[in-house]
Amino acid sequence: MYRTVSSLMYRTVCSGLDQVIRRRWPVRAASAEERERVVVPFSCPLQGAKLEDLLPQLQQEMDQMYLFDPLHKMEFLALGTFAETSYTGHRRFHQLEQDWQERSARVTRLAPCRLFALPAFSFVDREDAAGWSNWPDALLRIPRLQLVASGDRLEATLWLHAAEAADVALGKRSVCALLQGDLRSFADLQTVVPWRFLQVESRAEWEARVSAVTRTLRDGLEKVVLARLARHPVQRRPCEAVAALRQRYASSWTFAVARAGAWFVGASPERLLSVEDRRFEVDALAGTRGRGATVQEDTALAEELMASGKDREEHAAVVRFLESQLMHVVRALSVPPHPHIVKYANVQHLFTPVSGDMADGVQLADMLATLHPTPAVAGLPRQAALALLLETEPWTRGWYAGGVGWMDDRGDGSFAVALRSALYQEGEIAVFAGAGIVPASEPQAEWAETEMKMQPMRDAFGVFQTAEMDG
């Protein structure tokens, strides 16, 4: 199946690029010598092909990134590395956005086109965290070839150096190498760093940590989101897991980032932020139940969630946080008075959409810095919860509960919280999940919630048991 559909995607991309090379490239390339970077855009009909089906044909060790944005119905595949910059510190979002806007402004475009970047960032800025040595606090990677599928069209951009753009034969070789999965000419492979996660907690240890936190909450903290990890050997490749996630969780943000031979993969239900023409949308998502085996059971679970005082208060705390934080960066804010239920393949959540208009002078980076990390992944008050987590959590979250998304050269962008995720390396995955702990939390119920949240990644990678490996 993969080979047939991948071949269709391969032919689609080749057809579009071939037209660029024959009709436009030789005529326009001469002017590119004055600039360091050249962007070659092209578009063509998809004809039933899907970008995620191209992943199995590419080399697993090469830099690549896949993203599906379910809200804008946009699918991205970024291949190779034309340029890459890492960021750390509290200004990481601002530095990243500034670099991107400057880079995208200093290119020669062989035709008018919209440029996209696919940034990603960690839970907190904690450089060289254990287990995440090749995963910086924030990453801006400009790919050699970027494919964007929306509706029935494929839009693509090929980034070239001026010498490649001026030499048609050299440029064509670059294209062919990318499409054949041979990215060694364009990516400096880094040494894969062995696992350095601390010991995986047993169930008893994790439940004891939950009990300890519930006692701490009585001293002023409202909520702390505790996370846990489990490790499993796997046979499936990450690209196969991505295909399984896209099929099973069609309304989630599916993502995969390949870096130095490791993959960070997930299917998140939660949007962090969307900005379009200076109007923003944010999701408040907190409070969880599973799905029922029948319509009646599913409805009963939803009603139980809506009636739960513990879950409603946890959700209300997230909404209050968003209102208080956003007041300083917006001109108008719209918040519905009550949450409603949003359903996914294996869970259902309390959900409140928050939207409004950004204040004059506020940029995408300002919004990201204001919102991240949200109480849904950290706690309340945020700084006190983060201090407790950094002191007591026995492993480093890295990119788990961070963010993945896209931004364009117009100042728009859309990001998801990197939940329901796993880190793959050398035939093993570390699966992550968290639970919001409030004074009324029961350790056994919180363990069950994290098990439910881990199941999508276990299923995607073919893990059908839930016993943990020693770290």
pLDDT in tens, 147-179: 898 888 888 888 887 776 666 566 666 666 665
In total, how many domains does the chain have? Answer: 2
Q: Is the pLDDT of residue 144 over 70?
A: yes
Q: What is the pLDDT of residue 59?
A: 59
**Same structural domain, 174 and 222:** no
Q: Are 273 and 368 in contact (CB under 8 A)?
A: yes
Angle between helices 238-248 and 443-460 (to 10 degrees): 110
Q: Is residue 110 part of a domain?
A: no
**Same structural domain, 266 and 168:** no
Q: Is residue 103 part of a domain?
A: no
Looking up residue 273, the CATH number of its domain turns out to be 3.60.120.10
Going by the DSSP 8-state scheme, the letter that residue 23 receives in this structure is I
> Higher model confidence: residue 141 or residue 164?
141
Q: What is the pLDDT of residue 24?
A: 53
Q: Is residue 466 part of a domain?
A: no
**Same structural domain, 166 and 216:** no
**Same structural domain, 170 and 244:** no
Question: Residue 364: which domain range?
Answer: 203-460
**Same structural domain, 349 and 223:** yes
Write out the two tokens for 199. Answer: 């010991």
Q: What is the pLDDT of residue 383?
A: 92
CA distances from 56 to 240, 285, 315 (A): 7, 33, 39
pLDDT confidence tier of residue 222, bands split at 50, 70 and 90 = confident
Percent of the chain with pLDDT over 90: 50
Q: What is the mean predicted confidence (pLDDT) over 406-421?
A: 96
Q: Are 258 and 338 in contact (CB under 8 A)?
A: no
pLDDT confidence tier of residue 128, bands split at 50, 70 and 90 = low
Q: Is residue 88 part of a domain?
A: no
pLDDT per residue as tens digits for the range 68-122: 999 999 999 998 888 999 999 889 999 999 999 999 988 888 778 899 999 999 9
Per DSSP, what are the bridge partners of residue 282?
A: 354
**Same structural domain, 219 and 336:** yes
Q: What is the pLDDT of residue 111?
A: 78
- Per mean pLDDT, which range of 7-11, 128-132, 284-288 is the poorest? 7-11
Q: Is the pLDDT of residue 361 over 90?
A: yes
Q: Is the pLDDT of residue 142 over 70?
A: yes
pLDDT confidence tier of residue 471, bands split at 50, 70 and 90 = very low
Q: What is the mean predicted confidence (pLDDT) over 263-286?
A: 94
Token pair 């962007």: residue? 39
Annotated catalytic residue: which of 75, 97, 270, 449? 270
Quote the pTM value. 0.88
DSSP conformation letters of 391-455: HH-SS--TTTTSEEEEEETTS-EEEEE--SEEEEETTEEEEEEEEEE-TT--HHHHHHHHHHHHH
Indicate if 391 belongs to the active site. Answer: no
Q: What is the pLDDT of residue 260?
A: 79
**Same structural domain, 239 and 357:** yes
Q: What is the pLDDT of residue 180?
A: 60
**Same structural domain, 155 and 246:** no
Nearest to 267 by CA among 48, 78, 77, 454: 454
Q: Is the pLDDT of residue 35 over 60?
A: no
Nearest to 144 by CA among 187, 93, 205: 187
Q: Are 406 and 413 in contact (CB under 8 A)?
A: yes
Half-sphere exposure for 453 (CA within 13 Å, toward CB): 30
Instruction: Please give the Cα distance from 91 to 196 (Å, whole number).
Output: 27
Instruction: Please give the Cα distance from 282 to 273 (Å, whole number).
Output: 5
Indicate if 73 belongs to the active site. Answer: no
Nearest to 413 by CA among 85, 71, 180, 150: 71
Q: What is the pLDDT of residue 47?
A: 67
Q: Is residue 100 part of a domain?
A: no
Q: What is the mean predicted confidence (pLDDT) over 449-465?
A: 90
**Same structural domain, 338 and 443:** yes
Annotated catalytic residue: which of 75, 201, 223, 446? 223
pLDDT confidence tier of residue 22, bands split at 50, 70 and 90 = low
**Same structural domain, 272 and 417:** yes
Q: Is residue 395 part of a domain?
A: yes
